[in-house]
Amino acid sequence: MSGDRLGRRGLTQLRAQLSDRDLAVVGQVAQLKLMSGRQIERLHFGIEFHATALTAARTCRRVLERLVDDRLLVRLDRRVGGVRAGSASFVYGLGPVGQRILGLDGPRRRFREPTATFVVHTLAISELVVTLTVADRLGVFDLLELEAEPACWRPLGSGQLRPDLFASLGVGEYEYRYFIEVDLGTESLPRLIAKCQTYEAYYDTGVEQQTHGIFPRVLWDMHDEQRSVKLRDAIERSRLLTPELFSVTTTDDAFGVLADEVVRGAS
């Protein structure tokens, strides 16, 4: 039954049948826009909740099939990692019934298959969220706050500052705040520097500092080492930027940089 045809009584009955884990999965997909089956499995069907990794994977597969059948989630035609990756390669978005179950505002729109670039970029952000959440569970640091877009956007003049992600990490009494930008190699270097200047302009307003006491460091998660070096050098050379506001690294090293800055800074 489609989300548009499911009546109020049917919606109430369906909601009563959902477990806390069902709602957590749907809510997180809604927050991040897209997640792969593997990402959902790592966060919500970990080995700590099941007898074996195989049991966890099977349970995840059954739950996701049910959530798709009930239109809480939709499954994209596009896969990640190829067909040989199995069900974990499927990508999921929020379905029309999921939107209603969560009580989200806005019109209920038909789901349209997103572009390949959007899928890859969004899954890269989701992967960082998964990594940070797992690190929190392992006690590497405390994940104090996490906001995906548009919740992490900030008003700036007549426009907005639009990070891909905001994260607040803690160790003991110390808190470290980050605006995170995920680069896929699709933007020119001048456009990246212009985005850095937007962060500099927001820094100059003092709004974030007045509200939270500190300004988040801007972490650039770059597509490859060559682009990382070019952006880092451009920031250092610019007379309009404060290099200390920015950290530039590659996707492979992004988590390591975050963990190192937080743990080393608190020691």
Structure confidence by residue, pLDDT tens digits, 150-168: 999 999 988 999 999 999 9
Indicate where the chain has its CATH 3.40.1350 domain(s).
122-266
Indicate where the chain has its CATH 1.10.10 domain(s).
8-111
Position 82 scores a pLDDT of 55
Q: How far is CA 257 from the centre of its chain?
A: 17
pTM of the model: 0.88
Position 266 scores a pLDDT of 64
Residue 71 φ/ψ region, left for φ over 0, alpha for ψ in the -120 to 50 degree band, beta for the rest: left
| Residue ranges of the chain whose pLDDT lies below 70 | 1-5, 51, 79, 81-88, 104-110, 265-267
User: 122-266: which CATH topology?
Assistant: Trna Endonuclease; Chain: A, domain 1 (3.40.1350)
**Closest C-alpha among 145, 136, 137 to residue 31:** 145
- Torsion (CA) 20, 143, 212, 192 in degrees, nearest 10: -110
Position 2 scores a pLDDT of 43
User: 8-111: which CATH topology?
Assistant: Arc Repressor Mutant, subunit A (1.10.10)
Position 42 scores a pLDDT of 92
Strand partners, 165: 148, 180
| 41: number of Cβ within 10 Å | 23
Residue 109's Cβ-side half-sphere holds a number of Cα atoms within 13 Å equal to 7
Q: By the 8 A CB rule, do 197 and 243 touch? A: no
